[in-house]
Amino acid sequence: MIHSSRVIARIVELLKLSGVSSDANIEELTDHYLTKIENSISQGDSEQKSIRKTFQIIASTNLNSLEQKETRKRKWLISTVIIALVLLLVSQCKKSSDVITPATITASIEIPNGWPINSDIDQIYSGFGLRMSPISKTRKFHKGIDIKASTGTPVISTGNGKVADAGYSHSFGNYILIKHNEQYSTRYAHLSKLEVDNAQSVEKGDIIGLVGNSGISFAPHLHYEVIKNEAVVDPMEVIAP
């Protein structure tokens, strides 16, 4: 069996020897290499040959630099958010003479909503929340929704904002993070192409990328997240409240 505990344990061992220490990265990479074994078998290789070839790929790949890059990116995002909050606090203090009511604050927050692609609700094949992990055979939290679509389908921004990060990561593939305001951000992942740059301003409905199958992905689709106050929320609550 490809997913036998012996194969999984050996992959995990090789990943740790290659410098991967994060449990999250180990699980994602293990999932990735199990998929490579399955693909190799589907192309005609024997199971043993596919497993051995994948083990050799892991052993010869410098995964430590990848993990360090992801760590630096997370630290940069946290620093950016902290600086933005400090600047916002200073700005509010300078305007202390203005009367701000809770209703005024609520009205000023624009919530990103609507579909990030031209798709129907029945094309969601993985929802928000706990789902079964193919590796550990335990329930794992899914931070967004996966919307099935063909490669090249336009992806649109669900609100006005600015591109906080646009690039590539091992798990998300080509991705875009848009900051809409002090509360809300949205993330679009597994894209085949990016149509925006970092720090670029966008408006609701603008095409920001194209659906793809990059990163850890089994078929073309869009992974879409809504982030409120730095915590993910169910996108369906703002798409179809």
Render pLDDT for 155-203 as a digit per residue (tens, 0 to 9).
Answer: 999 999 999 999 999 989 999 999 999 999 999 999 999 999 999 999 9
**Which pLDDT score, from 0 to 100, does residue 199 have?**
95
The answer to whether the pTM exceeds 0.85 is no
Identify the DSSP state of 62: -
More confident residue, 69 or 40: 40
**Which pLDDT score, from 0 to 100, does residue 70 have?**
59
**Which pLDDT score, from 0 to 100, does residue 107 have?**
40
Render pLDDT for 28-45 as a digit per residue (tens, 0 to 9).
Answer: 778 888 888 888 888 888
More confident residue, 216 or 160: 160
**Which pLDDT score, from 0 to 100, does residue 177 have?**
98
The Cα–Cα gap between 241 and 238 comes to 5
Share of the chain above pLDDT 70, in %: 80
Q: 19 has which bridge partners? A: none
Cα-trace Rg, the chain: 20
Render pLDDT for 105-143 as a digit per residue (tens, 0 to 9).
Answer: 444 578 999 899 976 666 888 888 887 755 456 777 888
Q: Which CATH superfamily is domain 112-239 in?
A: Glucose Permease (Domain IIA) (2.70.70.10)
Q: Mean pLDDT over residues 195-216, rounded?
A: 95
**Cα angle at 161 between 159 and 163, to 5 degrees?**
120
The residue written with tokens 């999984």 in the block is 8
Residue pair 140/130 in contact by the 8 Å Cβ criterion = yes
Per-residue pLDDT at 104 exceeds 50: no
CATH 2.70.70.10 intervals, the chain: 112-239
More confident residue, 58 or 184: 184
The residue among 234, 171, 181, 174 whose CA lies nearest residue 208 is 174
**Which pLDDT score, from 0 to 100, does residue 100 have?**
45
Query: Given pLDDT bands bounded at 50, 70 and 90, which one contains residue 76?
Result: low
**Helix 23-42 crosses helix 47-59 at what angle (to 10 degrees)?**
140
CB atoms inside a 10 Å sphere around CB 114 = 13
The secondary structure of 174-208 as a DSSP string is EEEEEE-SSSEEEEEEEEEEE---TT-EE-TT-EE
The Cα–Cα gap between 181 and 43 comes to 47
Share of the chain above pLDDT 90, in %: 36
Q: Mean pLDDT over residues 204-208, rounded?
A: 95
Query: In the predicted model, what is the mean pLDDT of the chain?
Result: 81
Residue pair 216/32 in contact by the 8 Å Cβ criterion = yes
